[in-house]
Structure 1
Amino acid sequence: MRNYWYDNIKGVLVLLVVFGHLLTDVRGAYDDILPKWVYLFLYTFHMPLFIMLSGYFYRENRYLRVIQLFVVYVIWQVILGSWFAFTEGIPIFSLENPGLNLLKPYWALWYLMAIIFWYIITPYVTQLKGYVLYALLFALLFGFQAEATGYFALRKVIMFYPFFLIGNWMSERNTLNFFELPKRAEHRNRYRIGGAIVFTTLTLGLLVSMRVQQDDTFYHIGNLFKFRFAYDTAVPEAMWSGPFAFLIVYTVSLLMSISFALIIPGRQLPIFSRAGQYSLYVYLVHVFFVVAWKAFIPAGFMPTSWMQLLVLFGVAFVMVLVIISPPMVRLLRPLVEIDVKRVQNTKGVKG
Structure 2
Amino acid sequence: MTTPAAPTPAPTKQRVPFWDNARFAAIVLVVFGHALQRLTYDSDAAEALYLLVYAFHMPLFALVSGYFSSSAEPTRARMARVITDLIAPYVIFEAIWTLTQFLVTGRTNLDPAQPAWTLWFLLALALFRLVLPFLALLRGPIWWSLGISIVAGYLPSIDSTFSISRFLGLLPFFTMGWWLRDRDVVARLGLLERRPAWLRTLAVAVLVAAGAVAFALVDVWSDVRLGTWFFFVDAYADLDAPHWWAGGVRLAIIVSALVLMSAFLVLVPRRKTPWSDLGKYTMYVYLLHTFVLYPFRQSGVLRGLEPVWLWIPLVAVASVAIAATLASRPVRRLTRPFVEPRMPWLLRDPALGAGRGAAASARPSR
* TM-score normalized by the length of structure 1: 0.86
Match of 1:13 among 26, 35, 38: 26
Match of 2:5 in 1: none
- Deviation at residue 239 of structure 1 after TM alignment: 2.6
Match of 1:273 in 2: 276
- Counterpart contact for 1:4–1:268, Cα < 8 Å: yes
- Deviation at residue 207 of structure 1 after TM alignment: 2.0
**1:213-272 Cα shifts (integer Å, max 9, x gaps):** 635537612222222322224353x732211111111111112112211211122222x3
- Counterpart contact for 1:198–1:255, Cα < 8 Å: no
Long gaps (5+) in structure 2: 1-13, 353-366
Q: Could you tell me how far apart the structure 1 residues matched to 2:219 and 2:63 are?
A: 32
Deviation larger for 78-87 or 204-213: 204-213
Match of 2:232 among 227, 234, 247: 227
Query: Is residue 67 from structure 1 mapped to residue 87 from structure 2 by the alignment?
Result: no
- Deviation at residue 196 of structure 1 after TM alignment: 4.2
Q: Could you tell me how far apart the structure 1 residues matched to 2:28 and 2:135 are?
A: 32
Which secondary structure state, in structure 2, belongs to the residue aligned with residue 226 of structure 1?
Answer: coil
Query: Is residue 116 from structure 1 mapped to residue 116 from structure 2 by the alignment?
Result: no
For these two proteins, the number of residue pairs brought into alignment is 331
Match of 1:290 in 2: 293
- Deviation at residue 292 of structure 1 after TM alignment: 2.1
Q: Could you tell me how far apart the structure 2 residues matched to 1:339 and 1:38 are?
A: 39
Alignment of 1:98-109 (within 5 A): 100-109=110-119
Match of 1:93 in 2: none
**1:156-177 Cα shifts (integer Å, max 9, x gaps):** 1110011000001111000122
Match of 1:133 in 2: 143
Alignment of 1:183-222 (within 5 A): 188-190=194-196, 193-198=198-203, 200-201=205-206, 203-205=208-210, 207-208=212-213, 210-212=215-217, 214=219, 217=222, 220-222=225-227
Which secondary structure state, in structure 2, belongs to the residue aligned with residue 74 of structure 1?
Answer: helix
**Percent identical across equivalent pairs?**
26
Query: Is residue 88 from structure 1 mapped to residue 101 from structure 2 by the alignment?
Result: no
- Counterpart contact for 1:286–1:319, Cα < 8 Å: yes
Match of 1:165 in 2: 175
Query: Is residue 325 from structure 1 mapped to residue 328 from structure 2 by the alignment?
Result: yes
* TM-score normalized by the length of structure 2: 0.83
Match of 2:54 among 37, 43, 55: 43
* Pairwise CA RMSD: 2.4
Tell me the amino acid that sits aligned with residue 142 of structure 1. Answer: A
Q: Could you tell me how far apart the structure 2 residues matched to 1:110 and 1:5 are?
A: 26
Query: Is residue 257 from structure 1 mapped to residue 270 from structure 2 by the alignment?
Result: no
Match of 1:26 in 2: 39
Match of 1:79 among 74, 96, 100: 96
Which secondary structure state, in structure 2, belongs to the residue aligned with residue 181 of structure 1?
Answer: coil
Q: Could you tell me how far apart the structure 2 residues matched to 1:347 and 1:213 are?
A: 54
Q: Tell me: CA distance 1:286–1:112, structure 2 relative to 1, closer, same or farther (3 Å).
A: same
- Counterpart contact for 1:37–1:218, Cα < 8 Å: no
